[in-house]
Amino acid sequence: MKYAESPFHSARRVTREVAIGGIGVGGDHPIRVQSMITCDTMDTAASIAQTLELVAVGCEIVRITAPTVKDAANLQQIVAGLRAVGCSVPIVADIHFKPEAALEAARWVEKVRINPGNYADSKKFKIIEYTDAQYAAELERIRERFTPLVSLCQSRGVAIRIGTNHGSLSDRIMNRYGDTPLGMVESALEFARIARDLHYHDFVFSMKSSNPKVMIAAYRLLVARLAEEGPDWNYPIHLGVTEAGDGEDGRIKSAIGIGSLLDDGIGDTIRVSLTEDSVHEIPVAQKLVAHIRSPLTLTPKAEPIPKLDPFQYARRLTVPVTAGSTAVGGSEVVKVFIRPDDYDRIAHKLDRMGDYRPDGKLTPEDFVAVDPEDDLALATINASPLPLLVTVKAGGRLTHPVVAFRTLAAKLDERHPILLFDSLASPLEAVASSDFTDYLLQTSAHLGSLLCDGIGDAICLVGWDGPGQLLRVGFNLLQAAGTRTFKTDYVACPSCGRTLFNLQTTTAKIKAATAHLKGVKIAIMGCIVNGPGEMADADFGYVGGAPGKVNLYVGRTPVKFNIPEAEAVNLLQDLIREHGKWVDAPAPALGEGAP
């Protein structure tokens, strides 16, 4: 199976056009940027105001939650209010659990988003071995539930997003395919086949996860499966990393997932999900789109055969070497190096840098640089009796980091570890970018893509004039890619009309209480619509259960219910203690802190 014509050279995937109101998605249209309002859908004035704020900063499609039929009916008033002030932005109704709400919403909006995992199913975590006949009967039940919505959307010219979430796969899918990218794809295809049987084609796919590796694998697998189904399965793709979090971490995680797929030519519309006011999502999305105007370019002269499975993560199996007095490769965590000049600039405060202290400074004697197209030089390296730390030589024809390092990984003996640079203009010489956010997003997209492909045993960042910031980006990038955990990890959803507490202030309180717990992963969710499976690899979950009430989870299992919000953070700390993962916060270091 192939998700692109080549992993070394891609053009944007060719899709059919789907109209969402007056906005075309796919086809020859630009990649569309969208977001979601956060207020109560029954608050018509606030919904209109937040939508207008999003449109003012460049949002092209706006999503509004409709958890009940009553909320869905109020979309009529919201849309009418927007049109009355001359705003024609397409409105998308976000539906979970209630087909009746979807049918009501489809009367008023330009697009309906449904989640295959909970549109016709209620998750009970039952373990059932379905026979083929039982499975077929389940699909027929889904057909009966989904057909009325398809028919209504078809008659009104309304589009549908078939939006799978990693955290809310149905029991049926979980029992047959597991909690996997394959399960995510099959869940969406079941609904797509029903729509196609009804001769309805105005739909878009999405495969969202809070884990960039899972998200990337699921989208690639989806595109590969669509290609196998036939040329008329060329439906547009909506990209997003769900529950990315806030601040720099949320931007890095979003750039890894969305940016790497855009690099590969996949994606027709995107939403960056940040635990911040929605207007802050739009500039990030716009910058990601701007960076990927042309996907991977400058293919190798002779394309090698990739050695890594693009649909399932596995790190290259290398042999450890020593670089900068530090072991690199093998079972070692991916290391963060810094160039000598930057090391000298921070040498006076190394003992105060804590978790952001570099693993070493890198000199030209620590690695071998090679042009991935120089087969003779590569043959010499591959003939070396000892493993070597290898990187891409500066100044070669392959200047796109993803293309260059994928080519190197395909040609290099697997035993040799690979050193990743964020810029191939001139390794170990600073290449200062002019805008930090641009630098952050582009570096995260390029190096995050490689790390999620299993390529890279060490990184050295040179593209920004500030060693403290470079180190922070480097370590946070490894954490977001799931490559190296060095601090508390948070899965925090963006707010919406379903949210049962203030996500921004609550996330800040939880971080203040737990940010010192290295290696502990905490999920913070305003409600549970995306499913407890989204917390599958989290240690603990803090989830809105009712207005003013919180449920606490261990993994995906709820253990404490209806806790008053004022007590919930303290009880979360107690729960962490009960499970042996609590340590007291260290005393603040004297003097200058970490970068």
What was the pLDDT predicted at 594? Answer: 40
- Name the band, by pLDDT with cuts 50, 70 and 90, for residue 590: very low
Q: Which residues pair with 111 in a beta bridge?
A: 92, 159
What was the pLDDT predicted at 524? Answer: 84
Looking at the structure, tell me whether residues 157 and 210 fall in a common domain: yes
What was the pLDDT predicted at 595? Answer: 36
Tell me the per-residue pLDDT of 489-522, one tens digit each, with 9 for 90 and over: 887 766 676 666 777 888 889 989 998 888 888 8
Q: For residue 455, is pLDDT > 70?
A: yes
- What is the CA 578 to chain-centroid distance, rounded? 31
**What end-to-end distance do the CA atoms of the chain give, in Å?**
44
For residue 298, being part of any structural domain is answered with no
Q: Higher-confidence residue: 299 or 464?
A: 464
End position of a domain, from candidates 480, 502, 536: 480
Looking at the structure, tell me whether residues 430 and 549 fall in a common domain: no
- Alpha-carbon distance values, 434 to 11, 438, 465 (Å): 28, 8, 9
Looking at the structure, tell me whether residues 342 and 266 fall in a common domain: no
Sign of the C-alpha dihedral, residues 140, 144, 149, 154? positive
For residue 302, being part of any structural domain is answered with no
The average pLDDT across 198-216 equals: 95
Tell me the per-residue pLDDT of 519-550, one tens digit each, with 9 for 90 and over: 888 888 777 665 555 666 788 988 887 888 88
- Name the band, by pLDDT with cuts 50, 70 and 90, for residue 591: very low
Q: For residue 107, is pLDDT > 50?
A: yes
- Name the band, by pLDDT with cuts 50, 70 and 90, for residue 577: very high
End position of a domain, from candidates 439, 456, 480: 480
Residue range(s) defining the domain that contains residue 325: 321-480
Looking at the structure, tell me whether residues 208 and 108 fall in a common domain: yes
- Name the band, by pLDDT with cuts 50, 70 and 90, for residue 226: very high
For residue 2, being part of any structural domain is answered with no
Q: Where are the extended beta strands (E) located within 352-470?
A: 360-361, 368-370, 390-392, 419-421, 458-460
CA 506 to CA 572: how far, in whole Å?
A: 12
CATH of the domain at 67: 3.20.20.20
The 8-class DSSP code of residue 259 comes to I
Phi–psi pair at 51, nearest 5 degrees: -65, -45
CA 237 to CA 219: how far, in whole Å?
A: 9
Looking at the structure, tell me whether residues 450 and 562 fall in a common domain: no
- Alpha-carbon distance values, 292 to 9, 255, 262, 286, 530 (Å): 13, 11, 6, 10, 29
Among the residue ranges 26-40, 57-71, 182-196, 290-304, the one predicted with the least confidence is: 290-304
Looking at the structure, tell me whether residues 70 and 147 fall in a common domain: yes
- Alpha-carbon distance values, 537 to 491, 521, 525, 533 (Å): 10, 8, 14, 8
- Name the band, by pLDDT with cuts 50, 70 and 90, for residue 141: very high
- Give 434's contacts (C-beta < 8 A, 6+ positions apart): none
| Most confidently predicted of 274-278, 420-424, 455-459 | 455-459
Name the residue among 342, 359, 506 with its Cα closest to residue 427.
Answer: 342
What was the pLDDT predicted at 178? Answer: 86
Q: For residue 173, is pLDDT > 80?
A: yes
For residue 460, being part of any structural domain is answered with yes
Tell me the per-residue pLDDT of 350-404, one tens digit each, with 9 for 90 and over: 988 888 999 999 999 999 999 999 999 999 999 999 999 999 998 888 888 999 9
- Name the band, by pLDDT with cuts 50, 70 and 90, for residue 298: low
- Give 431's contacts (C-beta < 8 A, 6+ positions apart): 423, 425, 462, 463
The 8-class DSSP code of residue 548 comes to T
Token pair, residue 585, equals: 């916060």
Looking at the structure, tell me whether residues 346 and 271 fall in a common domain: no
Q: For residue 427, is pLDDT > 80?
A: no
Looking at the structure, tell me whether residues 467 and 494 fall in a common domain: no
Q: Higher-confidence residue: 204 or 248?
A: 204
For residue 308, being part of any structural domain is answered with no
Q: For residue 97, is pLDDT > 90?
A: no
Looking at the structure, tell me whether residues 400 and 452 fall in a common domain: yes
Looking at the structure, tell me whether residues 187 and 279 fall in a common domain: yes
What was the pLDDT predicted at 498? Answer: 66
Looking at the structure, tell me whether residues 83 and 223 fall in a common domain: yes
What was the pLDDT predicted at 295? Answer: 57
- Name the band, by pLDDT with cuts 50, 70 and 90, for residue 485: confident
End position of a domain, from candidates 480, 501, 528: 480
Please name the residue ranges forming H helices in 157-271: 171-177, 181-197, 212-229, 247-254, 260-263
Cα atoms found within 13 Å of the Cα of residue 488, Cβ hemisphere only:
22
CA 33 to CA 281: how far, in whole Å?
A: 9
For residue 221, being part of any structural domain is answered with yes
CA 158 to CA 189: how far, in whole Å?
A: 19
For residue 209, being part of any structural domain is answered with yes
User: Do the bridges between strand 360-361 and strand 335-338 make them parallel or antiparallel, or are there none, so unpaired?
Assistant: parallel
- Residue 43 identity (one-letter amino acid): D
Question: Percent of the chain having pLDDT more than 90?
Answer: 64
For residue 591, being part of any structural domain is answered with no
The average pLDDT across 95-100 equals: 90
What was the pLDDT predicted at 297? Answer: 66
Looking at the structure, tell me whether residues 450 and 496 fall in a common domain: no
* Cβ-contact 62, 113 below 8 angstroms: no
The model's pTM: 0.91
The length of the chain in residues reads: 595
Count up the domains in the chain and report the number. 3
Q: For residue 124, is pLDDT > 70?
A: no
Tell me the per-residue pLDDT of 300-318, one tens digit each, with 9 for 90 and over: 778 888 899 999 999 999 9
CATH of the domain at 572: 3.30.413.10
User: Do the bridges between strand 326-328 and strand 335-338 make them parallel or antiparallel, or are there none, so unpaired?
Assistant: unpaired
Mean pLDDT, the chain, integer: 90
